[in-house]
Amino acid sequence: MLVLINVVYLSLDRNPPAWDQAAHIKGIVNTNLWLRGEFWGGFKELINSFWGYPPLMYFLGGLWSSIVGVSIAKISFLNTIVLVVGIFGVYKLAGETSKKEGVGVLAAIIFSLIPVISDISRNMLLDLTLTVLVAWGLYFWIKSEDLSKNNYAIGLLLTLIFASLVKLNGFLYFGAVVLWILLRNYKKKEVWGKLMLGGLLYAVWVGWWWILNWQNNMAYLGGLAGQGEVLTDPMNLASFDTWIHYFRLFFLNQMGAITTIMFLLSLLLMPKVKENKKFLFWLVFNYILLTVIRNKDFRFTMPLLPLVATYFAWGLFETKRKWVIGVVLLWMGFNVVENSFNWPMKKPVVVYTPTFLMGNVNWVNFSDYPMREYRSESWPNEEILGDIPKGKREKVLVLINIAEMNDNTLGLYSLLNKRDVEIHGVFEWGQMDFDYIILPDLKTESAPFYDTMLEVRKEAINEIWGNMERYEIRGEYELPNKGKVYPLETKIAPNVEAI
């Protein structure tokens, strides 16, 4: 059912991919070109074009797009296929944990209806693939019985390798698994031997990428929470807010307030089984680890959701009341339809109350966060690029930074339309001269979540608007969000005084 919903959604949606989505699709298109022998560089240049991300999903996407064709919707649909694999993985995980097939079926349905899972399955983000691999990794962990069964131990190793080749933080979610196995079996030479062999194979398959991207990896993993993004991440490990940050995101955004309360109540009915201790250890370990590292996002705790769906389903199953299960699924299903298609009610519909710990709690949250509706309005990304004459490789500075239009998005459209231009972001302002500038009006505010250079961007925009005699306006576009954007051609470089 969700596959059909996604097919309809992607066929109707005209919204450009946002920052990360655009960057990942661009990486997939580059891989498609490389596989066809049309990429401008070699293998190393291709890897470098991924901006430090591991290559697995780009190569899968490159192969997929070679079969179905290159377009934003077709490439984004790959995540729907990943979701199907994830649904089956959660079914196996929950069924094996509870030893009840009904729990497995219910957990798979619940997993597919979690708001962030539904939303990300329509967007080319890497976190869904990582979440699916973690779900399968947990299943293989149970079945391997601490590596005593070789076939499942191999499955566990493969999911660890694949997870590490999907996102650079992929290996983190398996740290608790290895630690648990060591703590429980540190006297067994056989376990040590298998771990050492697994480590060697991991180094062979993943080590090459770590060597190529050492600096990017250390920049991400080498700091604590106090060094995170100032505008978005909790900054102080001594603060209580830092430690409840991920639970707050889970409560407010990943699951939603009402669904989370249903989940917490279902935990009261959970029976005690031997897997509970290892999974509790795994959850606590990962929560602490993700809190301590510098960057934070509700996508980073998505790999915990297969286990959440498992225990949610198990608790509901233990109620022995079908109407309770029906109410939960009806509520979650209604959220998916309403937030995806803006039907039957017109969004936004938000009912909230302020609270001491959680801030404003949206009990009813039919809005575009965290689950965006489809939009039929067209954005003029391609038209703006059309205002830049074809010829020499023009340097283009993009100063607008909103989800639908930014340097990543315009870079993607330039690649799809085979425009030979260099797209640059604000971080290169003042470091080179630009042939063209994509300038927003003064009322269009940059999205702070994806902008760590807000002041530099404001300074650049204000300086250009104050020296418009140096530029020629090539066009004017009114955006669906009521803002305006202007492609400018540079007549006099900013560091040259007008004569």
- In tens, the pLDDT along 196-235 reads 999 999 999 999 888 877 777 776 666 544 444 444 567 6
Fold type of domain 381-490: D-Maltodextrin-Binding Protein; domain 2 (3.40.190)
Tokens of 46: 């291709």
Residue 352 pLDDT > 60, yes or no?
yes
Q: Where are the domains of the chain?
A: 2-366, 381-490
CA 479 to chain centroid = 26
The residues, ordered by sequence, that sit 6+ positions from 204 with a Cβ below 8 Å of its Cβ are none
Per-residue pLDDT tens digits for 467-489 = 999 999 999 999 998 899 999 99
Query: Residue for token digits 């296929």?
Result: 81
352 vs 215 pLDDT, higher one:
352
Lowest-confidence pick of 156-165, 192-201, 219-228, 336-345: 219-228
pLDDT tier at 270 (50, 70, 90 boundaries)?
A: confident
Percentage above 70 pLDDT, the chain: 94
Nearest to 331 by CA among 352, 346, 316: 316
pLDDT value at position 261? 96
